[in-house]
Each structure stands twice: as C-alpha cells, then as structure tokens.
Structure 1
Amino acid sequence: MKLLTKTTLYFLLIMLPVFTAGAFFLYNRFNKEIKHETDEELLNDQLEWVRYLDTTSAGNPVFRISTPEFNIRPVDAPVQRKPRLTTVDIYQEPEDTYAPFRQLSQVITVRDQHYELIIRKSLIEKDDLVKNIIHVMLLAFGGLLVFALVSNWLISRKIWKPFYRSLDQIQQLQLNKLAKVIFEQTPTYEFNQLNSSLTSMTARMYQDYLNMKELTEDAAHEMQTPLAIAQSKLELLLQDESLTAAQQRNILLSYDELQRLSRLNHSLLLLAKIENRQFPVSAPLKLAAVIRKYLQLFEELIAEKQLTINSQLDEESEWPLHPALADLLISNLLGNAIKYNYAGGEITLLLTARSLQISNTSELAAIPADQLYQRFKKQQDTYSNSNGLGLAIVKKMADSYQLTLTYLHTGNVHQFTVTLP
C-alpha cells in the first residue's frame, strides 16, 4: 500500500469517529435545548392559567375543558409545590399515529378546591426542525469530510513529490551511471537530508565500483601476461627432443593446468564484471541468431557424438541482453548439453518470445539442488577440464538482469529454462 493511500486511510479512520461523535453530540444538544425552551413555554403558560383561574368563578366553563393540549380536573391528591415535566406520546386520530408532546402536570388549589392542571405542547414541528437541522449538518459534515480528505490527499501528494522523484532515481540507478546522479534540493528539510545522504551513498558506491572495475581490469592484464609467458615457455620445452618421456608428460600436465588456471582467471573476472553490471544493454537482440551461431561453432562436437538436434526457434524473439552475455548464456548451456550427453543422444532447443529451454539426454544423475549453481563445484568428476563456474556464471548473469533460471530432471533428460521477467 502506498504511503499516501495509507495516510489518507488513517486520516479517514480518525475523522469518521470524530464526526460521528460530533453528530450525536449536536443531536442530543439540540434535543435538550428544544425541550428546555418548550418547558419554559409550558411554565409560562401554567403561570398565566393559574392567574386566570384565580379570577374565575367555580362555574366557569374553563373547568370542563379537556383537550390534548389542555386539561383541568378536580382531584383529591395533595397540592404539588413544583410542576412535573415529562415527554408523552398522544394518539392522533386523523393521522392514526402517536405524536410526541411535552407535558406539564401539577396539582393546584383554586378557591380551596384541588385541581390537576395538565398543559401539553406538541413536539412534532420541533422534531421536524431538529431532523432538518441534523440532515443539513450531516450534509455539511460529509462535505467537510470529503473536502478534508481531498485537501489532505492533494497537499500530501504535493509535499511527497520530491520523495517519489528521488525514489524513481534510485530505482533507475545503474552502476556505470552513478557519477551523473544528482538529487534535487527541496523546500523540505527532511527530504534535503535524505537526498544529501543518497548523494553521499551513491558517490561512495560509484567510487567502489570504479575501484572494483580497475581491480578486475588490472587483474586481467597482470595475470594473463605471466600465464601466457609460462605457457609459451612450456610449449618451447615440449619441443626439446632431449627430454625424456616422463619429463614431457610432466611438462604437458603443467601446461594443461596453466590453461585451466587461465580459464579460471577469465571466468572469475567475467563474474566480477557481471556483478558490477559492466555489460549495459543498448538494444535488444534476436537470440535465435546467437543460437544458430553456436550450433555451427559446435558442429564438429555434435557430429563427433552423433547427437540429434531438435530446434524450434522464434526468429523474432528479442532479449534485453548485451551481445557478450547472450554468447555466454548460449555457449555455457549448449556446451554443457553437448559435453554431458552420450553418443547418439538428443538436444532440444525451444525459443519463444518469453523463454529459452535447452534439454539434453544424459546418463548422469540429477544435479543436487544445493550444488546446482555453487561456485567451484564440478557437477561430475569425469570432466577434469571443468572449473565449476559455468552454471554459476549463468546464474549470476540471470540474477543481475532479472531473468529466471530453472532446472528440471526427468528420466534421463536434463532441462534448463531461462525466462524473461
């Protein structure tokens, strides 16, 4: 969930109970105020009626009035010092319903005779007034809530814009372009602190990248030169006819190990370059052409083992890979499929718009999952010329360029699948 959405939801969760509580408070307050005003009116009416009754004769028709709003009748109950105020529901025949009334009742004395005086005032219109006021206030509260939410969202979006711009820059970072990364100054202190830290961090990363790149380049130059000299010297020694068979065999073994060391050095440097993303992708390439190129390069090995090649290639499939990495991917996977196959076996190549699948028959067992991409782990001791870095390099390349590499073993078939994100 995005930060802006989360902030808006929290604001909504806080404001809804506040507005609801405010609406209930105002409703109760209005009811109390209306009842208070109605009670004051009833008390004034009761005072006027008492004064009037004190001036009338006992035979006045007023003592026989009985209506929903006014009623007076003789009683034997004692005189009440204070009137009693209550809310009652009175049946209304025309509407066939009960209507709320505010009622004042009190036992009074008129010419030594006790009477119960009841005065009522209808609350229908006042209740309607309260409901109308509440509806208006709810609409106002709802509008205010929507306005507050929209305003909060717009303001937060504007305030957080510098953060999202910095985030976009971080997501698009490439090691070989770190020197050009500049985080903008903003009016917000905290964002300036964040951008300052990011600028410092990217500067250190770029310096580390340059140091590592320099190291790999120096290592490639410094190590390959003495290795090449040692190999040439051994080649000269092998041409010396005075050497015994045992001496020639020892020199030949040393020459083979130097070649293996040279390949190992090349593979380690290649791994370092892949990890440092020193193979930028300028344009997608058609992988089918690369596959066909290596099928031709490995043609003699394929013929020697009498392998059957089954290929189904999407000629328009374009992959976001550097040409050197595409060569690395195909040469390693196809080379392994040939190397670990048996005579008369099969290799199946399936290239689609989103995936590459290379399968080969083999008499060798499945590769253990914990050793599949482990560096310097030879998959089979039979092949002494392997340095154990082929699949490790392919895996590192896949991880660095967001490709998915999977392995499946079924029966006597080993299958590697590379999938685009």
Structure 2
Amino acid sequence: MRRMKLLTKTTVYFLLIMLPVFTAGAFYLFHKFNKEIKHETDEELVNDQLEWLRYLDTAHIDNPIFRFNTQEFQLTPTDKPVQKKYKLKGVHLYQETEDAQAPFRELSQVISIHGQNYQMVLRKSMIEKDDLLKNIIHVMLIAFGGLLCFVVISNWFISRNMWRPFYRSLDKIRQLQLNKMETPDFPQTPTHEFNQLNEALNQMTARIHQDYINMKELTEDAAHEMQTPLAITQSKLELLLQDENLSEEQLKNIGQTSEELQRLSRLNHNLLLLAKIENQQYPFTERPDLHQVIAKYLSLFEELIREKELNIETSLVPTAPWPLHPALADIMISNLLGNAIKYNYPEGHIQITLTTNTFTISNTSSLPEIPAANVFQRFKKNDQGYSNSNGLGLAIVKKIGESYHIRISYQYRNGLHIFTASC
C-alpha cells in the first residue's frame, strides 16, 4: 500500500472538504441569482400590467372590443370568467432573429374592460438576462476557482513552513549513528507541540546513547576480563596433560575439559562479536574484494579439504568489491566455507559461485535440512546433529547481512545445503 506524505494528505483532505463546499456555494449563488432575476422580471411584468390596465380603462373608442396580438403583449376577447389574481410562469417561444426557442417570463390574467372579458398576456424576454446570468456564473466560477487555488497553495506553503521543524528532527533521527559517539541536539521551535516532541527526543536519544556507551564498555570489559582467565585455565590444563603420573582416565577427563573450555572460549568470542556487530562497531570504510577473501580461505582450509577428499567447484568473477567491513567479510566467508567443510561427508562436493553482487555456496551433507525457523537462530543447530557447535556461526552471518543490507538465504535442494548472500 502506497503511503502519502502528511503534507500531501492534508492538502488532499482539504480539497475533498473544500470542493463540495465551493460547489454547493456555486449552486446556491446560481439559484439565488436566477431567482432574483425572475423576481425582478415578474415585478416588471406586474408594473406593465398596471400601466396597461390604466390605459385600457381610460381609453375612449367606439368599438368596445379590443384585440392586440404581439409576442410581448396579447389582449384577446374570451368567455372565461374574470380572474382575481394573475399567473406567472416561464415559457419558450420561437424567435426569428435567434432562429431558436427563447425563454420568456409570462404574466396572464382574464380581466374585464367595459363589460367585456379579455385574456391579457404580457411577456418579457429572458435572453439578455440569461446571458447576464451566464456571465455572472462564469465570473463567479473563475473567482471561486482562483480563490480555491489560492487557498490550497497558501495552505500548502503554510503547512510546509509549520511542519519544517518536524522534518528537521526526522532528518536528525535518520542520520543518527551511535558508533560516532555523539548525541543529536533537537533545538527549540516556535510551536509548542514540536518543542514537546524535541524534548522527548532529546531525552530518549540521551538514554539510548548512554545505554550504547555502557553496552560498548561492557563488551570491551567482558572481552578482556573473560578471555584472560580462560587462557590461563587452558594453559594450566595443557600443563596437566603433560604430567606422566596421571592415569588414562584422568587424562581423558582433562582432555574433555580442555575441549569444553575451548568451546566456551569460542562461544565467548562469538557472543562478543555479535554484540559488536549489533552495536555497529564495524563501520563501513572500504569494499573488500570477496574473490580474494574466498581464495584466502580456500587456501587456509586446504588441509581439511584434502583430509576429507572433498571436490571443490568454483565459478568466481575476477573482482567483486562488496560493501562490508574487511574483518566481517573474512568472518562471513570463513563461517560459511567452514560449515560446508565441517558438516560434509568424505568425498563430498562443495560448489562456490561468486558474481558482482551474489555469493552462493552449496555442499553435500548426511545431515537433514535445517528447519527454516531455526536456520539463523542462535543455539539451534545442535538439535539437528551439528556436534561441536555453539550454534552461532550462521547467526553471525545473518547479523552481518542485516547490518550491511545483504540478504542471506538458505535452501535445501537435491541433497544440497545452499546458502546465498545478495547485496
């Protein structure tokens, strides 16, 4: 669903409200003008009738029967009874000069003159008045249209000026980067509501920034404080393993403890790495060539590949600069390639494809498909038989993708586990 900007939405709503109001106002004025013109014409007809009645009442002629027949005045004898009240109505009559039916207002009444009943009909042409009404409506529509345009444009400029502090605050929020170790300042505005908003934003960003600093310090302190005792403990265990007086059972237990300690060290390292990625402590400064990174780790894993007798197929473009921090590019490739080797079976296959914006690695494995809900979640891979794993490798890859707008996806097809990264 396409969403409109607030200013556009306000203008559209304003138009939706004002157009019916202006239209109703135009119709009202039209009918009002039309009614007034008809009323004035009817008054003229009544006055003309009074003048004719005075004239006919005082006329001295030998023949008491009158007969007049013109388009605007008719007086003809009739047997109809005298009418106390005249009748007014609109009629259309043919006019030779216009060669068309023309509108008239008509007054008719049966009167008595010298004892003889006559049908008196007076008419007034409405052509000029209709033209006048059309001209008035034309001018009125132009005035209303101009007024509407002026109001809409004025409203748009006023609204844009009023909402400018909001958009400035919005731009500052969009440009906010916690890793730059600075807090934005949202200034005072002439509008009370925007001042309240900016004050709330200042408080919120200050809290977020302080939480970020605390988290960053905790991450750095944990990395230092935890790795040191782990390294010391690991060193002590290695010394114990060299003691010839230990029994085989003791050596076995110490060896298992050492392995778990190494696993704990890797877990600590990976959790700290995830925290650093989430805190955006790896700013994007350059584009590492993914071709060189893949070649480097193929060389580093060469012994493992040879040990399992894996068949490696590659299709790589000569250069593929990706929008990644160099250290995270190494981690992404080493995790994906390491998993493809580690969980493969002897004499299995690995296929690597690299284009300018897509990296795909697929591998055979005796392990089943990873459920879509679990594939990138932390600590979920052990449930599927992935031994000696802390379940963070793919989670780290996914988090790297999210931080640098790289889409990471997983498929299982024809016995192959396929991971794809697209930028």
Task: Please give the TM-score of this superposition, normalised by the length of structure 2.
Answer: 0.94
Alignment: residue pair count: 420
Amino acid at match of 1:363: S
The counterpart of 2:268, out of the listed 251, 265, 268, is 265
For residue 93 of structure 1, report the CA deviation from its aligned partner: 4.2
Structure 2's unaligned 5+ residue stretches are none
Q: Which residue of structure 1 lines up, in the alignment, with residue 392 of structure 2?
A: 389
Contact kept, 8 Å, 1:341 with 1:360, in 2: the verdict is yes
1:206 aligns with 2:209: yes
Structure 1's unaligned 5+ residue stretches are none
Q: Which residue of structure 2 lines up, in the alignment, with residue 409 of structure 1?
A: 412
Contact kept, 8 Å, 2:186 with 2:202, in 1: the verdict is yes
Alignment of 1:46-195 (within 5 A): 46-59=49-62, 63-177=66-180, 179-195=182-198
For residue 59 of structure 1, report the CA deviation from its aligned partner: 4.8
Task: Please give the TM-score of this superposition, normalised by the length of structure 1.
Answer: 0.95
- Give the Cα–Cα distance (whole angstroms) in 2 for the partners of residues 175 and 360 of structure 1: 39
Q: Percent identity?
A: 65
Q: Deviations over 1:16-44 (max 9, x none)?
A: 10011011001000101100110111111
Q: Which residue of structure 1 lines up, in the alignment, with residue 335 of structure 2?
A: 332
- Give the Cα–Cα distance (whole angstroms) in 2 for the partners of residues 244 and 178 of structure 1: 55
- Give the Cα–Cα distance (whole angstroms) in 2 for the partners of residues 355 and 190 of structure 1: 47
Larger deviation, residues 263-272 vs 313-322 = 313-322
Q: Which residue of structure 1 lines up, in the alignment, with residue 360 of structure 2?
A: 357
- Give the Cα–Cα distance (whole angstroms) in 1 for the partners of residues 64 and 332 of structure 2: 115
What secondary structure sits across from 1:72 in the alignment? Answer: strand
For residue 334 of structure 1, report the CA deviation from its aligned partner: 0.9
Contact kept, 8 Å, 1:99 with 1:122, in 2: the verdict is yes
What secondary structure sits across from 2:92 in the alignment? Answer: strand
- Give the Cα–Cα distance (whole angstroms) in 2 for the partners of residues 356 and 44 of structure 1: 97
The counterpart of 1:313, out of the listed 310, 313, 316, is 316
Larger deviation, residues 167-176 vs 308-317 = 308-317
1:21 aligns with 2:24: yes
Q: Which residue of structure 1 lines up, in the alignment, with residue 256 of structure 2?
A: 253
What secondary structure sits across from 2:56 in the alignment? Answer: helix
Amino acid at match of 1:267: N
Q: Which residue of structure 1 lines up, in the alignment, with residue 245 of structure 2?
A: 242
Q: Which residue of structure 2 lines up, in the alignment, with residue 400 of structure 1?
A: 403
- Give the Cα–Cα distance (whole angstroms) in 2 for the partners of residues 87 and 299 of structure 1: 104
Contact kept, 8 Å, 1:285 with 1:319, in 2: the verdict is yes
Contact kept, 8 Å, 2:382 with 2:390, in 1: the verdict is no
For residue 153 of structure 1, report the CA deviation from its aligned partner: 1.4
Larger deviation, residues 299-308 vs 55-64 = 55-64
- Give the Cα–Cα distance (whole angstroms) in 2 for the partners of residues 397 and 60 of structure 1: 117
What secondary structure sits across from 1:256 in the alignment? Answer: helix
Amino acid at match of 2:308: K
- Give the Cα–Cα distance (whole angstroms) in 2 for the partners of residues 403 and 384 of structure 1: 28
For residue 161 of structure 1, report the CA deviation from its aligned partner: 1.6
What secondary structure sits across from 1:231 in the alignment? Answer: helix
Residue 178 to residue 199, structure 1, CA distance change in 2 (3 Å): farther
Larger deviation, residues 59-68 vs 294-303 = 59-68
